[in-house]
Amino acid sequence: MTMTETLETIHDLVQRSDLTTLAKFAAEAPRPEISELLDRLPPVDAAVVFRLLPKDTSIDVFERLEPAAQADLVTELAEAEVVGVFEALDPDDVVGLLDELPAKVTKRLLQTLSPRQRTATAPILGYPQGSIGRKMSPEYLIARPDELVQTVLARTQRDEAQYETIYTIPVVDHSRTLVGVLSLRELMRAEGTDLVGTVMNTPVSAAAYDSDEVAARRCLDGGLLALPVVDREERLVGLLTIDDAIRIIRAAEDEDQARAGGTEPLRRTYLLTPVRQIARARAPWLLILAISAILTVQVLELYEATLAEVIALALFIPLLTGTGGNAGAQAATTLTRALAMNELGTRDIGRVAFKEVRTGFTLGLVLGSLGFLIASLVYELPIGIVIGLTLLAVCTMAATVGGLMPIIAKACRVDPAVFSTPFISTFCDATGLIIYFTIARAILGI
């Protein structure tokens, strides 16, 4: 049975109130599959299925859901059910869910937290959204460099249920300053009488106010199961686990892909997202692009007399603007990804400019030569020269601008994806037309 058929079957069972069959299905399905189903079901249907799950299963399934799906489910559940779910969640998951909920609902749910949950959650809520402090787990096992390995191992076996992960154990001194890190594997391989300080490794950490995406990539690039998070005084305040790092990167990539297409990411699956929300995600970008496209109209109006003298020039406008926009978009996409992967930084702007100038010139030389031959054969030699030189200039300009804009955006603390394909394409259209008509006037003497 396909996922679509399964969704239709569940919806039909809910409509017919056949809860016995529905409960049997929920009990037999693997937890990851149930989570995927709840992500795709309408909130009302998802709430019915969730209520039929055993308590242990329901908590595990809820933790696997995307934050937006969790928020939709919370609005459909009774307050007593929500309190039970909240008590079982890790503090960082609680904060992630609260960020998705309306302010009124968040305020009410905060009041339902137990003193233990409130104590664990409060430090995370103190960090700004977008920082790794907001996504870290404050529940972690620690060791001290002067402890025996056997002592730490015994504590790990005794208290492992209290912590989100025990596979990475930060080592701190008596002021809680991070001095090392120890994996469970290394702990079990060491002699019981060894001191932790003799077997620990140099720590890789992130500052609590660092971008969550930067910290998550540091965790994944380093192949770490957990990344220690420290405050400004290098004191340990939390751990970023690998599953949370993967979730952060996936969300960041979804956002970049959406903005590259001139929209905002949808928080839910497409079919479950209301039309109003989809329109709201697209409208601001359409408005910005429509306003910026006026530049192209103004350029055409400025050179209206030139077009009137040589009508053939108008035929090549789509070719030139399309080529410039595509060349700029290619460069912007490549550089946005390079920035996201930490392959370069703002200090590399000179090297990037030099590389993209050469890349654009090479592409322009190939396309310009082809455009020169075709235009010369179909029309006349002067038109061919204009098209060839314009393609050369436009490709060079577009590749350079497309490569530099993401770096400039990052230097200005703006998401590089914002200055991606749609914006750069519009900019290259207007600039490309200016280059085109300037060359045409010089070559054709008009």
Interatomic CA distance for residues 59 and 242, integer angstroms: 20
Pairing of strands 206-207, 226-230: parallel
pTM of the predicted model as reported, rounded to 2 decimal places: 0.68
Phi, psi of 111 (to 5 degrees): -70, -20
Least confident span in 58-67, 103-112, 309-318, 437-446: 103-112
Least confident span in 50-59, 248-257, 427-436: 50-59
Return the top range by mean pLDDT from 177-186, 267-276, 305-314. 177-186
pLDDT-above-70 percentage for the chain: 90
Segment 115-140 shows an average pLDDT of: 84
Gyration radius of the chain over CA positions: 29
- At 400-424, the pLDDT tens digits run 998 998 888 888 877 776 666 667 7
pLDDT for 314 equals 84
What is the per-residue burial (b if ≥16 Cβ within 10 Å, else e) of 16-33?
Answer: eeeeeebbebbeebeeee
pLDDT for 86 equals 67
Q: CB-based contacts of 112: which residues, under 8 Å, 6+ apart?
A: 79, 82, 83, 86
- At 7-54, the pLDDT tens digits run 677 767 767 777 777 777 777 777 777 887 777 778 777 877 777 777
Q: For the chain, which domains are there?
A: 3-126 (1.25.60.10), 149-258 (3.10.580.10), 274-444 (1.10.357.20)
CB 184 within 8 A of CB 156: yes
pLDDT for 36 equals 79
Taking the CA of residue 75 as centre, how many other CA atoms within 13 Å lie in the half-sphere pointing to its CB? 15
Which is more confidently placed, 127 or 268?
127
Segment 385-413 shows an average pLDDT of: 90
- At 75-112, the pLDDT tens digits run 777 666 666 666 667 777 778 777 777 776 677 677 76
Instruction: Give the 3-state secondary structure percentages of the chain, helix then strand then coil, rounded to 5.
Output: 70, 5, 20
Residue 226 pLDDT more than 90? Answer: yes
Question: In terms of DSSP H, where are the helices of 179-316?
Answer: 184-189, 196-199, 212-221, 242-260, 275-302, 304-309, 312-315
CB 227 within 8 A of CB 218: yes
Phi, psi of 250 (to 5 degrees): -60, -40
pLDDT for 250 equals 86
Least confident span in 20-29, 171-180, 312-321: 20-29
- At 276-300, the pLDDT tens digits run 777 777 777 777 777 767 777 777 7
Segment 177-204 shows an average pLDDT of: 91
Both tokens assigned to 205 = 């950490």
Angle at 259 between CA 257 and CA 262, to 5 degrees: 120
Phi, psi of 241 (to 5 degrees): -85, 160
Segment 53-61 shows an average pLDDT of: 77
Residue 120 pLDDT more than 90? Answer: no
pLDDT for 271 equals 66
Segment 315-338 shows an average pLDDT of: 86
Both tokens assigned to 55 = 């308590």
Least confident span in 288-292, 362-366, 374-378: 288-292
Segment 123-145 shows an average pLDDT of: 89
Both tokens assigned to 389 = 């030189």
Q: Which residues pair with 229 in a beta bridge?
A: 206, 238
